[in-house]
Structure 1
């Protein structure tokens, strides 16, 4: 049954990767075409992304839709939480990790029109590391720095690509992680990937745990490959990966731990706890046709 949408809030960042300067007008047009009452806001109007999201949630909408990058998508889901309104993190950024997991190859305009016309609720589980949420995957350790270099290259920023690549080379193999999964003895590894049920090929969506993978490359070339594979979601096929289920765990390092959470870089404390979150937020997704 399609949820009743009396009021919709849409947050658009026209400056994000694939939104574009006409995104605000296009969002208003789609709302009008679907006969849905809604308010479209931009971060520039409200003093930043978080202020824009909070202002939109204060309207008590039935749906909060976001056309922006991965960080904004993750922030919207986290602010709404398990008991808040439905959330639609639409593909308006560069990597679009969470949007692609929910909406496939649809662009944001098609995804918005589809869910307003014929959407259904989907409970999304996720993970949390040091209190920071992720819904697709988290990479902890030096290969996360290679993923950051790859993202700078995708954006065409040569200087930032070189800087991040140099930093990744300096960190490679200089400080391995120690990881304990579900209370088991610590093991050493170069990096840890935590994959959520939403996208893990080894888990169905009803799974009550994360998939944890230990990445242990033998050299800088393998570290780069694993970092790229982890960022694009095809790391499980790599022969250097050992994977299994995990509910809770802890990672230790000699210094701050570089990380990527749903495509966004992060810097974690030298000791970082993580856990599975069975009900993270409620997404509105297109209704799948009956088999």
Structure 2
């Protein structure tokens, strides 16, 4: 992106229903105290986030557990936010758990990152982007915020009045190897690391989930969505063409579209050609989660087509 402006999202995002109270006019708000510059935002707490955006720009990261590109982008955003030491607040929004926020931001695909300056939305980017581009956009965001009189700093408290959190145990070596490979975009190496972990422990649920996510990232890397859709439309029964669009849809957050495409394909194929489609559906179900209502609906349709 070459320029970010609060006017760019005017009319596209409606945050009025999320305010706890209208912002006060006149003098700037005092610097709020926060325990951390990275917070989990919810439908109920977002009014507080809007108030903080009068003091420092707030970066809103809309994500979901099943979203592979989110797992690539979110750590980069968090790292840069912490480096700024209170000049930016990062508010992480799980779109599945907070549907009102997802609707307010009109999140058609994720990851979606939007900033707030004095309560006004500012577009940043959609989809996973390289770290250098993220840094450039953050720098531009701080400039725009300063031009709009939002250039404060958050006072980070030590959280002494809260119960101490347990230190997370270190990742197993092969998991750490996979994460390191993902951070540099070497998905093939990450796949090998997860496969080794599963060879050692076939019940390693984290490795199973990680392998599915990184396989998806590997498959969509370098694909062009428009070209993939054209190819799929020209060959409605071609497995590779349909799989490519289904993968891109899932990676972009269009879960129902991804499932519907594969289920429609499954229904049209002869019985002896259906197995790869069923296996791909089962793999994508695992990425989204068995308890997700979209998975439950799709599983029910798959069962009806099988029997």
- The structure whose residues are more often helix, as a share, is 2
Larger Rg belongs to: 2
TM-score, shorter chain, exceeding 0.5: no
Structure with higher strand content = 1
TM-score when scaled to structure 2? 0.29
TM-score, with structure 1 as normaliser: 0.30
